[in-house]
Amino acid sequence: MEEKQKDILILAIESSCDETSIAIVKNGREVLSNVISSQIDTHRAFGGVVPEIASRKHIEVIDIVLDEALEQANVTLKDIDAIAVTYGPGLVGALLVGVSYAKSLAYTLKKPLIPVHHIEGHIYANYIEDKELKPPFISLVISGGHTHIVYVEDYGKFKILGKTRDDACGEAFDKVARTIGLSYPGGPEIDKLAKLGDKYAIDLPRVMIDTNDYDFSFSGLKSAVLNFVNKSEMTNTSFKNEDLAASFQQAVVDVLVSKTIKACKETNLKVLTLAGGVSANSFLRESMKNACEKENIKLCIPSLKLCTDNAAMIGCAGYYEYLKGNFADLDLNAYPNLKLDNIAI
């Protein structure tokens, strides 16, 4: 009789920015718990994440988050097979809290330590969402720090087809939101406001939409918004924030959809996934869905909780690294500028 394979339980830690999260993930794709403690309310008063405060908050809550994650999963530390942790990119102090915590757990429990790239984690959120999903596929990675079109060849094997030449997509959302007085983080605020506006009211550029590559640029669009707002103030012309939000969002989404569909067509890949915080955007989700239906491309988008920072996605990526035996020593460091290319084979 065939022996049933032992279940592998990964305890995963994510602390790269302003969310302290610990998850317990079984066999890569089954999330037993995914506890997220967000610091957003603390940072909102400052209009963005304050790195020093972020590190301190992580330290304050990480023990509680661990207890909660174990309790929700109904397991104890003795049941855990390995510890996975985000080791970059992100805020160095914030990353260090998670990395140090993971190292002490791995040392005490005598279990392997698995370093995970944060963006790889975002891509892997799709494996949790769609249990049947397998590489190869295209992934559009859009977060506060990244805008990449990635060719996912295999587990842990990526080719970057294109990326932003300046601002990340989420950064543009946050900066435009700030310009019109919305609170941090700006992405969800623009998303909400845009629903009430006219997306054709203000003419904004679709930067690099026709270039013969898969790269993006968002700083020109951000400047166009700033110029529009300044000019309106100087000429005493009023405009509706709702219209600006809708027009800006349409300009971003037009470029994202056009370049990503082009990548799918030119690589002949019929599966597309979205990853990172901006994939929570309701208008993008709808527009990409329509475009994929037209082109007969299967689209996978993580549920909202798996789009933004969480440890379950790190646990999923950690599982596939575990299968390959990609473990770190206890001198593992945090790498704030870790590139996805660094782990691409």
Question: Would you tell me which residues interact with ligand KG4 (CB under 6 A)?
Answer: 17, 143-145, 170, 173-174, 185-188, 191, 276-278, 280-281, 308-309
Q: Which is nearer to Zn ion, 167 or 309 (CB)?
A: 309
Per 3-state DSSP, what percentage of the chain is helix, strand, and coil (rounded to 5)?
A: 45, 20, 35
| Shortest distance, position 186 Cβ to ligand KG4, whole Å | 5
The residue among 89 and 112 lying less far from Zn ion, judged by its C-beta, is: 89
Q: Identify what 145 binds: ligand KG4, Zn ion, none; CB under 5 to 8 Å per kind.
A: ligand KG4
CB 341 within 8 A of CB 89: no
Nearer to ligand KG4, 82 or 152 (CB): 152
Q: What angle do CA 76, 82, 88 make, to 5 degrees?
A: 120
CB of 311 to Zn ion, least distance (A): 11
Four-residue CA torsion sign, 331, 335, 341, 344 = positive
Which positions from 305 through 324 interact with Zn ion, judged by CB under 5 A? 309
CA–CA dist 112, 74 (Å, integer): 21
**Among 47-55, 143-151, 250-258, 266-274, which window interacts with Zn ion (CB under 5 A)?**
143-151
State which residue, 14 or 321, has the beta carbon closest to Zn ion. Answer: 14
> Which entry of ligand KG4, Zn ion, none binds 318, CB below 5 to 8 A by partner kind?
none
Q: Where are the beta strands (DSSP E) in 143-297?
A: 147-154, 157-163, 271-275
Region of 18-26, 94-102, 187-195, 304-312 interacting with Zn ion (CB under 5 A): 304-312
Q: What's the min distance (Å) between Cβ of 31 and Zn ion?
A: 17
Cα R_g (the chain), whole angstroms = 20
**Which DSSP category does 216 fall into?**
B
Spatial distance between the Cα atoms of 186 and 176, rounded to a whole number of angstroms: 8
Pairing of strands 19-26, 9-14: antiparallel
Nearer to ligand KG4, 271 or 274 (CB): 274
With 0-12 / 13-18 / 19 or more C-beta atoms within 10 angstroms meaning exposed / middle / buried, residue 4 is exposed
Least distance (Å) from ligand KG4 to the CB of residue 325?
A: 27
181 conformational bin, left if phi > 0, alpha if psi -120 to 50, beta if neither: left
Q: Which does 101 bind (CB under 5 to 8 A by kind): Zn ion, ligand KG4, none?
A: none
Interface size with Zn ion, residues (CB under 5 A): 2
Q: Taking the complex as a whole, how short is the minimal distance between the CB of residue 174 and ligand KG4, in angstroms?
A: 5
> What residue 302 binds from ligand KG4, Zn ion, none (CB within 5 to 8 A, per partner kind)?
none
Minimum gap (Å) between residue 85 Cβ and ligand KG4: 15
- Beta carbons within 10 angstroms of residue 243's beta carbon: 18
Is position 143 an interface residue for Zn ion (rule: CB under 5 A)? yes
Least Cβ distance, residue 169 to Zn ion (angstroms) = 12
| Strand partners of residue 300 | 273
Contact positions vs Zn ion (CB under 5 A): 143, 309
